[in-house]
Amino acid sequence: MCSRIKRGIFLTLEGIDGSGKSSALKALYTELSLQYNVIATREPGATPIGKHIRDVVQSSSEPLCPRAEFLLFAADRAQHFHEIVLPYLADSYIVISDRMADSSLAYQGYGRGLDKEFIKTVNEWVTRGVKPDCTFYLRTDQTVARERVNRRLEIKTTIEKEHNDFFQRVTDGFEAIFNGRSDVIVIDASQNQKKVHEDIIQAVYTFLSFTKDAV
Ligand SMILES: Nc1ncnc2c1ncn2[C@@H]1O[C@H](COP(=O)(O)OP(=O)(O)OP(=O)(O)O)[C@@H](O)[C@H]1O
Ligand SMILES: [Mg+2]
C-alpha cells in the first residue's frame, strides 16, 4: 500500500512542548525549499477541519476526557493525511510535519495512561500505514522546555497547563518510543537555537544523501 501512494519523503519533528519543533520546522523549510519541493505542516490543525479540532483540544473551557482527546487528535490526523500528507507525498514532495503519530503515543499513551496498543492501531488506520521516513526527536529535559514555554508570549494550551509529573511521563514516553530506532535522529535540543538548527540541517542532508533518488 505504502509504495503506491507515497513517492516523496516524509519527515516528522517530535519532542515535548517547548523543545523547539516549530522553530526547527521553519529552519528546515527555509533550507530545504531552496532545492526541493517542500511542504511544512503540523498536527493538530493543518486543515480547515483540523483547525476546529485544534480549538477544541487546545482551548475548550469544558474538560475533555482522555479518550475523547485521543480520538480528536486521531480525527485531525485522518483529515491531515487525507488532505495534505498523502497528496503531497504522491506528488513527490518532502513533507515535514511538526508532530505526528508518536505524539499521541507519548501524550495520550504515556501521559494520560491510555492503551498504547490501541493508540498504535488507530494511528496505523488513520495514516493508511504510512510512516515517517525519518523522525527528528528534539530531546530536552522538561525544565528547559517549560521555561521556554513560559517565556513565549502565547496563551497556554490545555496540555501546556498540565503539571510537571504529566510532562515527565511524556518525556519518559518519548525516550521509550524512540530508544534504539534506526529511523529516528536524536537532536540535542537543549543547545542554543542556532546550534540546534545547524545540527538538524546537517542531519537532514545526511539523511537525504542516502535517499536522494526518492525525490
Ligand atoms: N534552542 C533554543 N534555545 C532557546 N529558546 C528556544 C530554542 N528553541 C526554541 N526556542 C524558543 O522557545 C520557545 C518554544 O519553542 P517552539 O515554539 O519552537 O517549541 P515547540 O516544540 O514547537 O513547542 P510546542 O510543542 O508547545 O508547540 C519559542 O519561543 C522559541 O523561540
Ligand atoms: Mg510548536
Q: 124: which residues sit within 8 A by CB, 6+ positions away?
A: none
From ligand 2's centre to the CA of 103, what distance in Å?
12
At 198, list the grid cell: 545547524
Q: Which domain holds residue 173?
A: 2-214
**Cβ pair 107, 170 in contact under 8 A:** yes
pLDDT, averaged in runs of 10, over the chain (215 residues): 66 97 98 97 98 93 93 98 97 97 98 98 98 97 89 82 91 97 97 98 95 62
| Protein residue with its CA nearest to atom 18 in ligand 1 | 20
From the CA of 196, give the closest atom in ligand 1.
1
Q: What total of structural domains would you count in the chain?
A: 1
Asked whether the whole model's pTM tops 0.85, one would answer yes
- CA distances to 42, 177, 193 from 137, rounded to whole Å, are 15, 10, 15
Burial call 107-116: b when 16+ CB within 10 Å, e when fewer: bbbbbbebeb
- Kindly identify the ligand whose nearest atom is closest to the C-alpha of 160: 1
Q: Domain holding 186: CATH number? A: 3.40.50.300
- Kindly identify the ligand whose nearest atom is closest to the C-alpha of 145: 1
